[in-house]
Chains A and B, each alone.
Chain A
Amino acid sequence: MKSHQRSLSQEEIIDFAQAFDPQPYHMDAAAGDASIFGGLCASGWQVAAVATQLASDTLAAEGYNPVMLTAVSEMKWRKPTFVDQSLTTELQLGERQPSSMVPGCESQGVEISVFGPEAVLVAEISAIFAVDTSQ
C-alpha cells in the first residue's frame, strides 16, 4: 500500500525545531551545511510524526480502522529530510494480535518505509497500530 505525499517547508521545519528540537542543524541553514547532515533538515521526530500520519491515513482509506499508534518496535532514521522534499510511505502489513492497550481494539503490525525524492529510503518504522475490528 502506498500513501499520499507530504513535504515540509523551511518554516514548518524551523517551527517544529524551535518548539521541540532546537538544535542548530534543524533551525539554521549555515549550521545545517556544516553538520553531519549537510543541510538544514527536519527533526527526526517531525519525520516520524508525518510518516505515521501518512500511514494511518492509508490504513483508514483501505478500511483497517486505525485508532492510534501504540508502539514502535523499531525505527531507523536513514537519511536527512531537507526543505520541501516530498515524503511518501509504503506499507506492509505485519502480525495481527488479538489484544491491544486500547480497549476494544486489536494490534496490527505495519512496516512503514519512508521515501524521499528519487525513492531514497529516509526512514523505516516498525509500527503497531490499535485497529478497531468492531466496525
Chain B
Amino acid sequence: MSNLYLRNRWFEDLPVGEFHVFGSHTFSELEMIEFARLYSKAPEYTDPEAARALRWGGLVAAPWHICAMWMRKMVDYMEVYAQGVNDGRRNGAGISVQSMTWLEPVRPGHTLTYTYEIIAKSDKVIRDKWGVIRSRNEAFNQNGAKVLSFEIDILAERGTD
C-alpha cells in the first residue's frame, strides 16, 4: 500500500514534514576532474598536483558538482518511487533555490548521503496546474559532517479531481 501511495501522489497529497534519505555517492578523483574541466576551471578542482599546494591541501569537488549529484540522486530516487508515472507527479521542474551553502570540502573517496524534508507548500497555482513544494536538502559526508545545505522550490502537479 505504501509503495502505491508514494507513486501516485499529487501536490495535495505531499505532507509537510515528510523526510527522505534518498541517495549516496562516492566521489572519485576522475569524475571530479571531468566535471571541473567543463564547469569549474580552477586548480583546486582540476589539478591534483597543483591542488596539494593550495588551500585545501588537495583536490576538492567543485561546488556545482556536489549539487549536480544531488539532482542525479533525486532523479534516480523518483525513478524508483514514481516508477510508471510519467507526468508532473514525477517530473516537476525546479524554479528557485534559497540559502545554499557549501560547508566542508569534498575530497576523492568521500561518500555523501543526500536527504530532503518537505518544509512548506505554497498556495500559488502556476499555469493552472502546478503547485510549489519547498524542501530542505542536505548532504552529509561519511563522518556525518554536513557539507551542503539548501532549500529548493519545485513544481508538483495538482490533482485533477
Taking Cβ atoms with an 8 Å cutoff, the residues of A that contact B are 12, 16, 19-25, 35-37, 43-46, 48-50, 52-53, 56, 67-77, 101-104
Contacts and interface: CB of A to CB of B under 8 A. Distances in A.
Nearest to B157: A36
B94 A77 contact: yes
The SS class assigned to the B binding surface is mixed
B68 A67 contact: no
A29 to B, nearest CB: 16
Interface centre among A19, A49, A67, A103 (most CB of B within 10 A): A49
Interface of B: 38-42, 44, 55, 62-64, 67-69, 71-72, 75, 91, 93-103, 127, 130, 150, 155
Given A37-B93, A44-B94, A102-B55, A50 B39 contact: yes
Contacts of A56: 42
Contacts of A68: 42, 44, 63
The SS class assigned to the A binding surface is mixed
18 contacts: A19-B68, A20-B68, A21-B68, A35-B91, A36-B93, A48-B64, A53-B40, A67-B42, A67-B44, A69-B63, A69-B102, A70-B102, A72-B97, A72-B100, A72-B150, A74-B96, A74-B98, A75-B97
A127 to B, nearest CB: 9
